[in-house]
Structure 1
Amino acid sequence: MSSKVIVVTGAGSGLGRSLARRFASEGEAVVLVGRNISKLEKVANEIGAEALCLSCDVGNPKSVNQAFSKLMEHHSTIDVLINNAAVYEPFLTKEARPQQIVDSITINTIGPILCINAALPLMAKDGHIINVSSESVGMLFPYMVTYQAAKAGLERFTEGLKYELEADSTNNIRVTCLRAGAMYSDDISLNTEPEVAARFMAATAAVGLDLRNRGISHVDSVTTVFRSIIDLPSDVDLPVVTVQGRKP
């Protein structure tokens, strides 16, 4: 069986890095996409494969087009696109810097749409698009309302895209929304000031979300779910998947 060309956004750290490591170890042709080229190159060196590294700000149309144009120089088709890149930063709307709001919507919603727009002309007939959402969409989650709104928008887009592609008889591209729960790795941290982080933890506890004691999964474990989705038989569809961590 020939290797698949798998594009992973946000591949420089966390889940994206673990996905790249796993797929490369299984003989797939991995394309690493992210804003920090040095992080991508470090991952490429770690996995010891001829991974393609593409510097790309997924929220910038010009940057996305340039990245996928470069991708075309190396691969004629894409088998799998995993829209994993995201920003996760707690803040109150009244305290937010305008750029925090813009980044949250742009990277979490617009970014995946731009990447899909650029990737579709290259997608293999039986390709697969996986959009990573968040369990927070279905929760009351203080300090995260902009992030929730962005991920909810991505979920609604994913549902509509699935209908669009199914109506196009020239392809058999599947679309999956993966709603992910809390995950951890050695390079994931809460990117916020300590005082804001403390208020965030207190606010979530006040609505019944004890983040310190909820189930959490390691990013390496979650890669197994992606592998299963990609390997689905041709007559099976999986539009929505929810992945949650378990308590030890």
Structure 2
Amino acid sequence: MSKRLEGKVAIVTGAGSGFGEGIARRFAAEGAKVILADINGDAVTLIANELGDDAVAVAADVTRKADVEAMIAAATGHFGRLDILVNNAGYTHRNRSLLDVSEEDFDRIMAVNAKAIYLSTLQAVPVMEAQGGGVILNTASTAGLRPRPGLTWYNASKGFAVTATKSMAVELAPKKIRVNALCPVAGETAMLDRFMGEDTPERRATFTATIPLGRFSTPEDIANAALYLVSDEAEFITGVALEVDGGRCI
């Protein structure tokens, strides 16, 4: 590895599996010190132990202010700064009619996919501003750009992530804080069966048929895109919602 993140301190939420795990592992391989945050504390502890002394696990529910405060404090307490914040934790309802999604599921979707960005921003921005800048990366979705039936309330939450990213980018630019978003297509993660309604060969074939490059996204795909957007190579890029989707949004 080229150590493109040498000397950087990063927080990755939802780092216990899927895209978040892939991002955290790639950042660590590129020289970053990483706080792995997840509601599943056991999962991130195992990964952090594997990554070594420059990785710290934090059990955190990103919808709770106290947990987010503790997550940010872990970065500054262990490593003295915070250069990169990846708001990756996500939640979705199962693919179904918009009339059949429970209020409980709706509230959880909006809390994890929207409110968590608000809470983490309030805590991270003062730290980044004081040290002269930083990068925030929000995991949105192609669902926020090209919504389709069956995931309406999830789509709406990811539309929030895209719009918030663009507005944050403009407002935080004078503080030298860049803000971008990733928009993955459905991927090989634990939420795939919810996106499809059920995980069957037939459903997989139907979904992949809508992706010109003919496959789902992988944690490696998303980690590669995340690495570029948070690196110094992207220092003039802000407010972008990058489609990592095999052509799905065309």
Q: Secondary structure at the match of 1:22?
A: helix
* Alignment match of 2:13 (pick from 9, 13, 22): 9
What is the CA–CA distance in structure 2 between the aligned matches of 1:234 and 1:226, rounded to whole Å?
A: 10
Comparing 235-244 and 108-117, the one that deviates more: 235-244
Verify the 8 A CA contact 1:129 1:176 in the aligned structure 2: yes
What is the CA–CA distance in structure 2 between the aligned matches of 1:147 and 1:112, rounded to whole Å?
A: 15
- Pair 1:149–1:246, CA change in 2 (3 A): closer
Verify the 8 A CA contact 1:133 1:178 in the aligned structure 2: yes
The residue that corresponds to 1:63 in the other structure is 67
What is the CA–CA distance in structure 1 between the aligned matches of 2:191 and 2:160, rounded to whole Å?
A: 25
Verify the 8 A CA contact 1:76 1:122 in the aligned structure 2: no
Unmatched runs of 5 consecutive residues or more in structure 1: none
**CA offsets, 1:218-240, max 9 Å, x none?**
21132111111122447522421
The residue that corresponds to 1:134 in the other structure is 141
Verify the 8 A CA contact 2:167 2:239 in the aligned structure 1: no
Matched, 1:165 2:172: yes
Give the CA deviation at 1:113.
1.5
What is the CA–CA distance in structure 1 between the aligned matches of 2:119 and 2:81, rounded to whole Å?
A: 17
Q: Percent identity?
A: 26
Verify the 8 A CA contact 1:24 1:49 in the aligned structure 2: no
Verify the 8 A CA contact 1:162 1:175 in the aligned structure 2: yes
1:176 is matched by which residue type in structure 2? N
Give the CA deviation at 1:189.
4.4
- Pair 1:140–1:17, CA change in 2 (3 A): closer
Count of aligned pairs between the two proteins: 235
What is the CA–CA distance in structure 2 between the aligned matches of 1:155 and 1:29, rounded to whole Å?
A: 27
- The two structures have a TM-score, normalised by structure 1, of 0.84
Give the CA deviation at 1:51.
0.8
Q: Secondary structure at the match of 1:54?
A: strand
Matched, 1:243 2:247: no
**CA offsets, 1:5-41, max 9 Å, x none?**
0110100000111111111122210110111110110
Matched, 1:93 2:98: yes
1:79 is matched by which residue type in structure 2? D
Unmatched runs of 5 consecutive residues or more in structure 2: none
In proportion to residue count, which structure has more strand?
1
- The two structures have a TM-score, normalised by structure 2, of 0.83
Matched, 1:73 2:77: yes
- Pair 1:230–1:68, CA change in 2 (3 A): closer
Q: Secondary structure at the match of 1:148?
A: helix
Verify the 8 A CA contact 1:57 1:64 in the aligned structure 2: yes
Comparing 103-112 and 74-83, the one that deviates more: 74-83
**CA offsets, 1:107-164, max 9 Å, x none?**
0011112111111122242311111110012334222111111111111111111121
RMSD: 2.8
Verify the 8 A CA contact 1:183 1:245 in the aligned structure 2: no
* Alignment match of 1:45 (pick from 44, 49, 52): 49
1:211 is matched by which residue type in structure 2? F
The residue that corresponds to 2:161 in the other structure is 154
What is the CA–CA distance in structure 2 between the aligned matches of 1:224 and 1:7, rounded to whole Å?
A: 16
* Alignment match of 2:38 (pick from 12, 34, 38): 34
2:207 is matched by which residue type in structure 1? L
1:12 is matched by which residue type in structure 2? G
The residue that corresponds to 2:109 in the other structure is 104
1:210 is matched by which residue type in structure 2? T
2:198 is matched by which residue type in structure 1? A
Give the CA deviation at 1:62.
2.3
Q: Secondary structure at the match of 1:115?
A: helix
1:242 is matched by which residue type in structure 2? E
Give the alignment of 1:168-187 within 5 angstroms: 168=174, 171-184=175-188
The residue that corresponds to 1:226 in the other structure is 226
2:106 is matched by which residue type in structure 1? I
